């Protein structure tokens, strides 16, 4: 596997949702990219 690019999605949220992973997967399919990273940061109150 050789990649020229990576999709990085950063979210600041209070809870993790399965939809976040599905969204990143859809981005990868639409762009025909193979590598993605989802970074989830906790939202402090």
Structural domain total, the chain: 1
Query: 38 lies in which domain range?
Result: 7-42
Assigned domain for 34 exists: yes
Please report the pLDDT score of residue 1 as a whole number: 54
Assigned domain for 1 exists: no
Assigned domain for 2 exists: no
pLDDT tens for each residue of the chain, 45 residues long: 556 889 999 999 988 899 999 999 999 999 999 999 999 998 776
Please report the pLDDT score of residue 4 as a whole number: 81
CA separation (Å) from 40 to 3, 19, 22, 30? 23, 13, 14, 22
What is the biggest distance separating any 2 CA atoms in the chain, rounded to whole angstroms? 42
Please report the pLDDT score of residue 3 as a whole number: 60
């Amino acid at each position: 596997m050789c990649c020229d690019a990576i999709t990085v999605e950063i979210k600041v949220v209070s809870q993790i949702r399965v939809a976040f992973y599905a969204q990143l997967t859809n981005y990868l399919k639409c762009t025909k990219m193979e590598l993605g990273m989802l970074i989830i940061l906790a939202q402090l109150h």
